[in-house]
């Protein structure tokens, strides 16, 4: 196997602020909490951090989608940097990680702070309108603009309805994603929603946009997540066993358009997964658990399939009854409750949970058998990113 | 102003007491102007390569098939089919109909030209994958917004 640069990079620390439906702190202070926890977790000092990366950067709006950028946290922590970057154009939320891998390989920095801060719960309480998609903004604008496509749920339901139609997945199978994750969240003290739900609860919940019910949608929250990415020679001397980035998938082999993307039912995931698997000798059968993007339950279903854990259009059978994806199952999925129950930390919650599990710190929800290999993924529509994380 | 044919009130069993929300209008530039204004003459204008006949959408004067720069707006039939859709139930803002359909419609001439739209003038629950549809336009300020309705109407 070629020596890809991600193999010379490891996650060495993680941090998470309080996660809630209404924060007691500002977005920047939440970010400071997560960043300092991650730096301390890695056994580093502020002075050791010489890079920062984030996605999508400070939006400068009141939506709460991203109100903290690299400059905000650099100044708050008074960091001295060799490299920094934040921006929205890239393979989803993991663009920040992939950029940092490149910067470390280029010798620009050794320890990179990566963070993602959400403040959508408070933003929606202040003004729900702030969180709705407006002209010139976000998903597919301007082509979506006049058509009352107010939210990602509505626009992305176009993919999920197509998938449901093509695959024949049953609603009671789809429900297992939400039910499983709520069960996992019940064992996670930091999760936003912790009361288990049943199939009846699922079917009694409101439909947002077919085929999505409210339990299929992630939970807007206030919270920040941070991870430290270190060059491997540095990582080896730090206190946590390095969580190596075994392989990344960052490709864009399709039309990068929310309306014109090549395959509506799979979105951009298959080629991204293919790229990830091409950069490792590991196979889907070697994966101990999966922390998959779950902006909507269907994203997770799509990733199960597109990562190759089951065949095309067979994810419904794979998750039927929920046992296989449970903490005790052959492929535990979204073990901390994910964004559906843990809170919409937007992909970095999943990375945090992967490391928490790989370091054996997950308490009541710890997956048994000393897990070492985690498949993680992010985003939907034309955006997709994938990583395989390994603790040796 | 007379409610346009596709106005939410026509989908809403006359229950609406709040007027339907404004249509957010697109930013119109040199490339997209034909698409957003062709409806004034009842035409759905899609860019087409004058060398190899491939339709290019979103519009730009470059053909990704043959690299020709001779790409010009042409009226298409206005017919197409539903590639995917969703029935919205959530009241995102006041005045929305109880149900409405957001869809991707492929134009009859070329499958991979997909237009975001609402399917109007029908029961939202009656929309199906592959359903044949035809274009109609609503004028909003200086923009003629294309919508679709069942071809059978």
Q: How far is A357 from chain B (nearest CA, A)?
A: 37
Residue B146 lies in a domain: yes
The pTM assigned to this predicted structure is 0.94
pLDDT of res. B9:
38
Domain range for residue B84?
29-150
Chain A touched by B33 (CB under 8 Å)? no
Q: Cβ of A155 and B57 within 8 Å?
A: no
CATH architecture for residues A149-218+244-391: 3-Layer(aba) Sandwich (3.40)
Examine the pLDDT at B2 and tell me if it is beyond 60.
no
In a domain, residue B6? The reply is no
Where residue B81 sits, what CATH number does that domain have? Answer: 2.40.50.840
How far apart are the C-alpha atoms of A125 and A22, rounded to whole Å?
8
Residue B24 lies in a domain: no
Domains of chain A, by residue range, sit at: 5-126+221-235, 149-218+244-391
Residue B6 C-alpha, separation from nearest chain A C-alpha, in angstroms: 11
Closest by Cβ to B112, choosing from A159, A212, A260 = A260
Residue B85 lies in a domain: yes
- Where helices occur in chain A by DSSP H, the ranges are 27-42, 70-77, 95-105, 120-126, 152-167, 171-185, 199-204, 232-235, 269-278, 297-306, 315-319, 348-358
Please state, in angstroms and rounded to a whole number, the distance separating the CA atoms of residues B128 and A141.
25
Q: Is residue B71 part of a domain?
A: yes
If you average pLDDT over residues A185-209, what whole number do you get? 98
- Find which of B32, B96, B102, B137 to mutate to test the A interface (most A CBs within 10 Å of its CB): B102
Query: Using CA atoms, how far apart are residues B88 and A148, in angstroms rounded to an integer?
Result: 10
- A168: contact with B, CB 8 A cutoff: no
Domains A5-126+221-235 and A149-218+244-391 share a fold: yes
Domain membership flag for residue B55? yes
- C-alpha span between A274 and A78 (Å, rounded): 40
Condensed to tens digits (0 to 9), the pLDDT of residues A226-250 reads 999 999 999 999 999 999 999 999 9
How large is the ipTM?
A: 0.95
**Separation between Cα atoms, residue A5 and residue A1, nearest integer Å:** 12
Is residue B19 one of the residues assigned to a domain? no
Concatenated DSSP letters of A65-131: S----HHHHHHHHT---SEEEE-S-SSGGGHHHHHHHHHHHTTS-SEEEEEEEEEHHHHHHH-GGGG
Interface residue A144 vs chain B (CB under 8 A): yes
- In this predicted structure, the answer to whether residue B7 has a pLDDT above a threshold of 70 is no
Residue B5 lies in a domain: no
Give the model confidence (pLDDT) of B64-119 as tens digits. Answer: 999 999 999 999 999 999 999 999 999 998 999 999 999 999 999 999 999 999 99
The pair of three-digit structure tokens given for residue A217, joined into one six-digit string: 């949608």
Of A38-52, A117-131, A198-212, B105-119, the range with the lowest mean pLDDT is: A117-131
Number of domains in chain B: 1
Put simply, whether B41 touches A (Cβ < 8 Å) is: no
CATH classification code of A5-126+221-235: 3.40.47.10
B55-56 and B45-49: which strand pairing?
antiparallel
Per-residue model confidence as pLDDT tens digits over A103-128: 999 999 999 999 999 999 999 888 77
Position with higher pLDDT, A363 vs B25: A363
Nearest to A177 by CA among A153, A152, A155, A202: A202
β strands within B44-140, DSSP E? 45-49, 55-56, 71-75, 79-88, 100-107, 110-118, 132-140
Residue B139 vs residues A117, A172, B151: alpha-carbon distances, Å: 41, 43, 21
Return the residue in B64, B84, B99 with the most chain A beta carbons within 10 A, the one to mutate for interface testing: B84
């Amino acid at each position: 196997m070629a020596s890809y640069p991600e193999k010379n990079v490891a996650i060495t620390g993680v941090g998470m602020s309080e996660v809630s439906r209404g924060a007691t702190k500002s977005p920047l202070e939440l970010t400071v909490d997560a960043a300092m926890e991650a730096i301390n977790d890695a056994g580093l000092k502020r002075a050791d951090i010489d890079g920062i990366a984030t996605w999508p950067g400070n939006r400068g709006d009141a939506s709460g989608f991203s109100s903290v950028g690299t400059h905000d946290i650099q100044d708050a922590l008074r960091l001295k940097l060799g490299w920094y970057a934040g921006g929205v154009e890239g393979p989803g939320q993991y663009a920040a990680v992939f950029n940092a891998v490149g910067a470390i390989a280029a010798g620009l920095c050794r320890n990179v702070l990566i963070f993602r801060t959400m403040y959508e719960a408070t933003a929606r309480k202040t003004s729900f309108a702030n969180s709705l998609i407006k002209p010139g903004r976000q998903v597919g604008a301007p082509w979506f603009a006049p058509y009352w496509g107010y939210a990602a749920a509505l626009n992305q339901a176009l993919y999920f309805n197509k998938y449901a139609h093509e695959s024949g997945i049953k609603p009671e199978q789809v429900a297992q994603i939400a039910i499983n994750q709520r069960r996992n969240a019940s064992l996670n003290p930091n999760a936003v929603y912790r009361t288990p739900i049943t199939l009846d609860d699922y079917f009694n919940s409101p439909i947002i946009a077919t085929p999505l019910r409210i339990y299929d949608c992630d939970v807007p929250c206030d919270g920040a997540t941070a991870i430290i990415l270190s060059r491997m020679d540095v990582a080896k001397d730090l206190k946590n066993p390095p969580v190596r980035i075994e392989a990344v998938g960052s490709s864009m082999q399709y039309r990068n358009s929310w309306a014109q993307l090549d395959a509506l039912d799979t979105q951009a995931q298959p080629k991204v997964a293919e790229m990830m698997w091409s950069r490792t000798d590991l196979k889907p059968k070697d994966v101990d658990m999966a922390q998959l993007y779950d902006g909507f339950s269907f994203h997770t279903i799509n990733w199960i399939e597109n990562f190759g854990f089951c065949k095309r259009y067979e994810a419904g059978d794979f998750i039927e009854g929920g046992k296989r994806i449970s903490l005790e199952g052959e492929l535990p999925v979204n073990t901390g409750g994910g964004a559906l129950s843990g809170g919409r930390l937007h992909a970095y919650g999943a990375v945090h949970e992967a490391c928490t599990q790989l370091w054996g710190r997950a308490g009541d929800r710890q997956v048994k058998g000393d897990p070492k290999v985690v498949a993680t993924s992010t985003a939907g529509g034309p955006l997709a990113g994938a990583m395989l994380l390994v603790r040796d | 102003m007379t409610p346009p044919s596709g106005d939410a009130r026509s989908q809403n069993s006359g229950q609406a007491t709040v007027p339907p929300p404004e249509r957010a209008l697109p930013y119109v530039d040199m490339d997209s102007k034909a698409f957003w204004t062709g409806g004034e003459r009842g035409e759905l204008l899609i860019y087409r390569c004058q060398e190899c006949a491939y339709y290019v959408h979103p519009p730009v004067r470059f053909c990704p098939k043959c690299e020709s720069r001779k790409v010009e707006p042409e009226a298409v039939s206005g017919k197409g089919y539903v590639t995917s859709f969703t029935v919205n139930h959530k009241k995102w803002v006041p005045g929305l109909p109880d149900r409405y359909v957001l869809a991707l419609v492929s134009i009859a001439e070329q499958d991979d030209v997909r237009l975001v739209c609402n399917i109007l003038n029908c029961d939202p629950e009656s929309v199906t994958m592959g359903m044949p549809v035809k274009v109609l336009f609503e004028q909003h300020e200086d923009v003629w917004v294309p919508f679709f309705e069942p071809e059978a109407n």
